Amino acid sequence: MKTLLRIDASARKQGSHSRALADHFQHRWLEAHPGGKILTRDLAENPVPHLENATISAFLTNASSGHAPVPGAVLSDELIAELKSAEQVLISSPLYNFNLPSTLKAYLDHVVRFGRTFGANESGYFGMLAGKSVCVVTARGGSAADGLDGLDFQGPSLKAVFEFLGFNRVDWIALTGTSNDDGQLETRAAQARSALDALFDPQPAQPSADNIEWRGLFSLQDRDAINALRAAQVRAILAGDAQSYARHCTDDVLLMLQGRDVVSGRAQFLECETQLFQTTKFEVMRQIPLRVERQDDLAVESGRQELATATGSAQTESFKARRKYTHVLRKTAAGWRFAVLMSNNSL
């Protein structure tokens, strides 16, 4: 049974545009997951307290030290357990003074916690909540016409937090101009609802993962994580998001594209993909995995790709419509990541 954790941050209980969008998402989610479980946390009705020194000290105290439990730490444990129990998270949040409401920030301060939702190793920090997705629906009074787009810091903040925690997917749906007296609010709201609907509509362009030949010891969680990793790669390429693509790779990733020298390491990978997306836009990207074979913490995936670039893209001839690929995946502390990416135009 699938579980959705819904978090509402608007101070308004009635007439909230962000809550209305979240209602629409929840309705579609229940249609897609009959019998699914909904957990709700209303931060206006039950606000999470801001961090205090005693709470921070409790976070840093070893649980075996014999110290008495601190209420703030107990609440944090409860919130983290709730977050971990959900495969999907829905957040409805208005824009308050260019950023997220303080109640939502307080919630995040309790769940972004070292050793519980993120960790660190010799390669740096890594998230511990891989295999999850979050949809953020937000509303703001102004619109692009007001010239304040550069002052909306809520989106980048929340995207960074959930990607830091290891979430494989972050969707962002925004309703703007709720205070504009132009008679177009319902039109914009309908567009936002349509964007939410698109998250649930089947995507026939992507093949079913049921036909993959799995060789070796893969748990159901491994298979789900690898399928989610592949889907995240497709979304990043179609969105031209080099940063997101790089986050799904190991630090020592190797990229081998036809007609190019080997790209080594995440920094070079990010630079290469950023330059590529500046000149080439992909309109279609299908991964058709045929086999995934595992040996210890490495897995090799082979299959076919189908691509289409936008008219006028600079490197259209470098990417044939049908290609073959081999990807080497490595299971890290942060989850499955791309270690080697190879593709070839010939079939």
Gap between the Cα atoms of 197 and 202, Å rounded: 10
| pLDDT on residue 205 | 44
Q: Provide the domain count of the chain.
A: 2
CATH of the domain at 327: 3.10.450.50
- Does residue 131 sit within a domain? yes
Is the pLDDT assigned to residue 37 strictly greater than 70?
Answer: yes
157 and 241 inside one domain: no
Which of 172, 198, 224 terminates a domain? The answer is 198
Q: Minimal CA–CA distance to 59: which of 105, 104, 111? A: 111
Is the pLDDT assigned to residue 331 strictly greater than 60?
Answer: yes
Gap between the Cα atoms of 261 and 257, Å rounded: 8
CATH of the domain at 92: 3.40.50.360
Q: Output the six-digit token pair for 6.
A: 């819904």
192 and 340 inside one domain: no
| pLDDT on residue 148 | 62
176 and 318 inside one domain: no
> What is the per-residue pLDDT across 142-165, written as a single tens digit (0 to 9) for each?
765 555 656 788 888 998 899 999
> What is the per-residue pLDDT across 169-207, written as a single tens digit (0 to 9) for each?
888 888 888 888 878 888 888 888 888 887 886 544 444
> What is the per-residue pLDDT across 80-128, written as a single tens digit (0 to 9) for each?
999 999 999 999 999 999 899 999 999 999 999 999 999 988 888 999 9
Q: Minimal CA–CA distance to 48: which of 107, 111, 100, 93? A: 107
Helix (H, G, I), strand (E, B) or coil at 76: helix
Q: The pTM is what? A: 0.60
| pLDDT on residue 204 | 41
| pLDDT on residue 282 | 83
DSSP 96: B
**Mean pLDDT value across residues 293-310:** 89
Positive/negative CA dihedral, 259, 261, 263, 269 = negative
126, β-bridge pairs: 119
Measured in Å, how far apart are the chain's first and last C-alpha atoms? 40
229 and 306 inside one domain: yes
Which of 169, 198, 227 terminates a domain? The answer is 198
| pLDDT on residue 83 | 97
Gap between the Cα atoms of 47 and 106, Å rounded: 8
Contact between 199 and 192 under an 8 Å Cβ cutoff? The reply is no
| pLDDT on residue 285 | 83
14 and 58 inside one domain: yes
| pLDDT on residue 256 | 85
Is the pLDDT assigned to residue 287 strictly greater than 90?
Answer: no
Gap between the Cα atoms of 59 and 62, Å rounded: 8
- Does residue 300 sit within a domain? yes
Gap between the Cα atoms of 292 and 219, Å rounded: 13
**Mean pLDDT value across residues 300-314:** 79
- Does residue 147 sit within a domain? yes
Gap between the Cα atoms of 323 and 309, Å rounded: 14
**Mean pLDDT value across residues 219-223:** 84
- Does residue 262 sit within a domain? yes
pLDDT, mean over the chain: 86
**Mean pLDDT value across residues 310-315:** 62
Q: Minimal CA–CA distance to 92: which of 163, 39, 42? A: 42
- Contacts (Cβ under 8 Å, ≥6 apart) of 313: 279, 280, 281
152 and 243 inside one domain: no
Q: Output the six-digit token pair for 222.
A: 């491994």
| pLDDT on residue 144 | 58
For residue 16, name the pLDDT band (cuts at 50, 70, 90). Answer: very high
24 and 151 inside one domain: yes
- Kindly give the interhelix angle for 185-198 and 17-32, rounded to the nearest 10 degrees: 30
Min mean pLDDT across 199-203, 218-222, 341-345 is at 199-203
DSSP 69: P
Which of 198, 228, 248 terminates a domain? The answer is 198
Which domain range does residue 46 map to? 3-198
Backbone phi, then psi, for 277, in 5-degree steps?
A: -70, -20
Q: Minimal CA–CA distance to 134: which of 101, 157, 168? A: 168
| pLDDT on residue 113 | 93
**Mean pLDDT value across residues 45-70:** 75
What type of residue is 45? E
- Does residue 285 sit within a domain? yes
| pLDDT on residue 62 | 45
